[in-house]
Chain A
Amino acid sequence: MTEDSASFVASLAESIVEADPDTRWLVAAKLSEVPGPESEKVLISLLGDPDYRVREKAVAVLTRRFTREVAKACLSGMGDEENAGRRGASVSLLSKGGVLGTETLVEALASNSPDVRLAAALALPAEGAGPNAVLALERALLSEVDANVRAGILLALGRTKRREAIRPLLMALEQSGPWHQIHALEALGEIGDPGVASRLLPLLDIPALRRATLRTLARLESPGPSEDLAFRAARGETDSELISALRHCLSAAPASTCGRVREIWTAAPAVLSELLGSTLTSPEQKSDAAHLLALLDVESAAFLIVRAGRTADGYGALNDLPVERLNDVMSAALQEEDPEPAFALVDRLKGTGNEGALSPLLVHPSPLVQATVLSLLPAGAAPLGEVMQILAEEDPETVLPAALALSAVHPQMPLDRVKRQHQALLDRARGADGPGRSAAVTALASVPGADVDEIIRHAVGSLDPAVRAAAAGAIGMRDSFSADEILKLADDPESRVRAALLRSLARLGERKPAGFEADWRDVLIYLADDSPVAAAAGEALMSLAGPERSRLAEEMLAQGDSIRRAAIEEIVRTGDSEAAASVAIAVDHEDLDTARAVLRALEIAPQPVAEDAAAQALADPRPEVREAAAELLARRGQPPARPSISDALARTMVEEREPLVLKALLKALVVAGGESALEPLTAILARERVEKEAIDAATALARRHEREVKRLWVSAPARAERRWAAALAAAAKSRQEERGAPS
């Protein structure tokens, strides 16, 4: 430490003595930039600050410079009987302190104070704790005399999520009283190894443990206990816990098990229907009953579920019905005013290639459903008469999807139908102003033909601003409009029309149809227009800038928010990598949307520029920027040129607390993850529920780092072990398929 920084820290330390909380918070923030034991000492003292914000700041700063001295101070802070704030901050810091933090918390389990031991047990283990943490907890459990601390240790064993913790937990089940048995059951649920389900079944006969056992069985999602539970249900044990456990067991069971359960519990349809229809049943219980009705494929289940109304997960139970029952779901949804059952069906069929089966929903009373179905049906799947009828109804909700459905054709479509669809659109676009005309003009934008050009020219002169805006937007997809013609129209009194015209100019600038000439200087005057127009002008300017784009892109950084963002966002569409590189400097721009726009533009920038900016953005304090950086790496779709990018991803994952950023990081791992990401990913795979993105990342890493994953997975926590095994199998299968594929 230099003399200067020593005196700086000393002056800061002095300034906190009688300062207000805001000043103390600022001191903590300032000290984050000053390394060395002196500043560390001040920060440690702030862990006991009377204001929680100051303590939080001190914890945040010390988390990033967690040393043995800090750990030691926290251990002593945990026992500060005078200051609850310090106790809490110490535990919080230790739980974020990685291996060293975990070691210190384990050490605290040997404290003389039961309060300290309990606090340590409740904070243990840190995420990703290994087998050593289990051993330490097991030892502490054996020697612990305080009942509350023992219970805390049992739960901590569960939170390790490791298979090694199962043995001491099962022992606790056999040797303890109900208080600890219930905690052990909860811990087993946390670990989630379906293999222990059969060991728990005998506990169902012990009244004090029955509820906890059923709750654990529900979390284990093992099909094994299904039949035992069904026998109990058949004997009249139809309380909410048993119904929930049976539902979760059956959700993991093959159809044959569901069939046997149906035979065992013959009263299931009556019991579950009654539960579903009762006003005394909670939404969660209704949800369980509805799922069970569907899983057991009870006759008329779809109607019962729909008629009962929304449960805790809406109409999610409809997804558990077998495919053969989709017609029932359709009929039930059509009988309901509520659009939700129809949407449940839409969600189920969307993306399956079987969207055509949704066409009966076009007569659903809800326009929301009609609009949704129209936008999903493949070209030609909707009955023409119905689509034309919907267009004629002029409902703002449905006109555009109906018009777009009329503009959709496929090569095998009968010529007569193509003509009728086309004619219907032309007729409406030539007709009276209204939502239908705007929609028809928009839908015709991509239809070639001089007659369509004529219609659009006519629509631009309409008295209805919505029709003019639709026509102005359509111009961007035509090749027959000159820049002069567009700019002449751009003195329209409606700002949305002017904005649409400038955006069309931008689209034409991107496509450059033959004979299209435009100068970026012509749009400059619109930079001083209303916000939507100015933004569109920024977009057009960038599109038309040609060889001057890089220079102008830099200059756009000095413009107002709307123009700056729109201009940067346009860069990707121009494909100009040099211009993209020229805005990289603004990756940490204080305006969030600008920083995000820059990261999007970098998708087409040269690799070193994009990677440097991504690495910088991954360390940005704003989660949205970190997320955009991860998305950039995923979108570029190429392995990074520098290993440091993979390390930066891994580092960010370890510290990341925002679920959405974590998701984006996992997507980035698929293309840019290296060996360093294996450990943080294992910690994520150990969770009870994991996103699809984590599984995809595991599969990708298992392909690229098979040997390392094979070394790692056998010692991973129980759930992670299973998921790594599945990832290795998926990776092997895809390799095999590649080898088998014809070259």
Chain B
Amino acid sequence: MTNRTPELAEPVFRLLSDLVRKRTGFVVSDSHRSRMETRLSGEALAAGSFYQLYTQLREEPTDSPAFGRLIDASVNGETYFFRDPDGLAAFSEEIVPERILANGQESEVAIWSAGCATGEEPYTLAMILAERGILPGRKVRIRGTDASPDAIRRARLATYGSHALRSTSEIRRRTHFEEAGTGRWIVKSELRQLVVFECLPFNLESRSGTLMDVIICRNVLIYLDEEARFQALELFSERLKPGGYLLLGPSDALAASATPLKLVRLSHDVAYRK
């Protein structure tokens, strides 16, 4: 028995990254080569080589577990709780109250955190709505989606360490989390129940799915190629209710210039409204 770690030669890395780009729109940076090599070395060993693994993955559907492993090894979803205070203030103080008024008191407010990585953003949205007194009491549904099955698996576990909580004050930590041992914290169950996670890349989303009041997609579009970015923006535009809001990250602003949505200046942030 020996364990020979296969080498991910650059041309094969390119083939794998092209495959990810074609299927999901994600542009895999060169710096991910080493990461991809180590994360997929077991699979490559089982397949015979990285090239043979590529030839197998090429035939796999995008939502298969095997292809999901490739996506996991290709994307980098680094995020943390209470990131972007301005955007959160705009969301909780201006956008959601307006949507509640627009929908009527009894209607549900639908929120989609698109490209939510390991779930910090959708949970933060739930937390901030709880702090504003909107939750519990109103019907709010938060949906988190990401292309990476591993990220969604972790999001569902809702257990985080100090790095994810680096911008979370002690008070918030005590209010929204419970200690999970060894320096880790788990989101309280009443907040966990508010968020539904799905593993789905943008290009597999239905254009005619549930309409949303708010779509938040921060710092994701910059990782997509031009075509996928355009399609994602089209999708967001179609999936918003009339009057619904799209919130993007500052780095996505240029991409958003192509949307048919109207740019609106709020007190705390800018957003796009349908």
Do A and B associate with each other? yes
Q: A379-B3, A565-B55 are in contact. Are A371 and B78 (CB under 8 A)?
A: no
**A569 & B55 in contact (Cβ 8 Å cutoff):** yes
B-side contacts of A596, CB under 8 Å? 15
**A372 & B39 in contact (Cβ 8 Å cutoff):** yes
The binding surface of chain B is classed by DSSP as helix
B-side contacts of A375, CB under 8 Å? 5, 38-39, 41-42
* CA gap between A499 and B42 in the complex, in Å: 19
**B55 & A347 in contact (Cβ 8 Å cutoff):** no
Enumerate chain B interface residues (CB-CB to A < 8 A). 1-3, 5, 10-11, 14-15, 18, 31, 34-35, 38-39, 41-43, 45-48, 51, 55-56, 58-60, 64-66, 72, 78, 150, 153, 160-164, 166, 182, 184
Query: A340-364, CB under 8 A of B: which get 1 and which 0?
Result: 1001001100100000000000000
B-side contacts of A338, CB under 8 Å? 78, 163
Distance (whole angstroms) from the CB of B199 to the closest CB of chain A: 13
B-side contacts of A42, CB under 8 Å? none
**B161 & A337 in contact (Cβ 8 Å cutoff):** yes
- Residue in B closest to A570 when the chains form the complex, CB atoms: B55
Q: A314-B31, A347-B34 are in contact. Are A404 and B11 (CB under 8 A)?
A: no
**B162 & A496 in contact (Cβ 8 Å cutoff):** no
Q: A375-B38, A535-B59 are in contact. Are A337 and B162 (CB under 8 A)?
A: yes
Of A346, A396, A466, most B-chain CB atoms within 10 Å: A396
* CA gap between A346 and B39 in the complex, in Å: 12
Distance (whole angstroms) from the CB of B65 to the closest CB of chain A: 8
Distance (whole angstroms) from the CB of A476 to the closest CB of chain B: 8
Q: A337-B162, A531-B59, A532-B56 are in contact. Are A371 and B39 (CB under 8 A)?
A: yes
* CA gap between A408 and B2 in the complex, in Å: 4
Q: How large is the interface on A (under 10, 10 to 19, 20 to 34, 35 or more residues)?
A: 35 or more
**B34 & A400 in contact (Cβ 8 Å cutoff):** no
- Residue in A closest to B65 when the chains form the complex, CB atoms: A466
* CA gap between A108 and B66 in the complex, in Å: 59
Q: A473-B46, A532-B60, A535-B59 are in contact. Are A404 and B78 (CB under 8 A)?
A: no
Distance (whole angstroms) from the CB of B54 to the closest CB of chain A: 10
Beyond A375-B38, A400-B42, A447-B1, 18 extra complex contacts between A and B, CB < 8 Å:
A310-B78, A337-B163, A340-B78, A350-B38, A371-B39, A371-B42, A372-B35, A400-B46, A442-B46, A470-B46, A473-B46, A496-B66, A535-B58, A565-B55, A566-B59, A627-B11, A627-B14, A660-B14
**B41 & A401 in contact (Cβ 8 Å cutoff):** yes
- Residue in A closest to B49 when the chains form the complex, CB atoms: A573
Distance (whole angstroms) from the CB of B3 to the closest CB of chain A: 3
What is the number of contacts between chain A and chain B, taking CB atoms within 8 Å? 104
Distance (whole angstroms) from the CB of B69 to the closest CB of chain A: 8
8 nearest A-B residue pairs (beta carbon) = A408-B3, A337-B161, A337-B163, A400-B42, A532-B59, A372-B38, A375-B41, A338-B163
- Residue in A closest to B60 when the chains form the complex, CB atoms: A532
Distance (whole angstroms) from the CB of B186 to the closest CB of chain A: 14
**B10 & A663 in contact (Cβ 8 Å cutoff):** yes
* CA gap between A43 and B163 in the complex, in Å: 60
Asked if A486 lies at the interface with its beta carbon under 8 angstroms from chain B, I say no
- Residue in B closest to A413 when the chains form the complex, CB atoms: B1
Asked if A593 lies at the interface with its beta carbon under 8 angstroms from chain B, I say yes
**B1 & A350 in contact (Cβ 8 Å cutoff):** no
Q: For residues 352 through 388 of chain A, which have their beta carbon under 8 Å from a beta carbon of chain B?
A: 365, 368, 371-372, 375-376, 379
Distance (whole angstroms) from the CB of B148 to the closest CB of chain A: 11
Asked if A278 lies at the interface with its beta carbon under 8 angstroms from chain B, I say no
- Residue in A closest to B40 when the chains form the complex, CB atoms: A375
**A409 & B2 in contact (Cβ 8 Å cutoff):** yes
* CA gap between A407 and B153 in the complex, in Å: 28
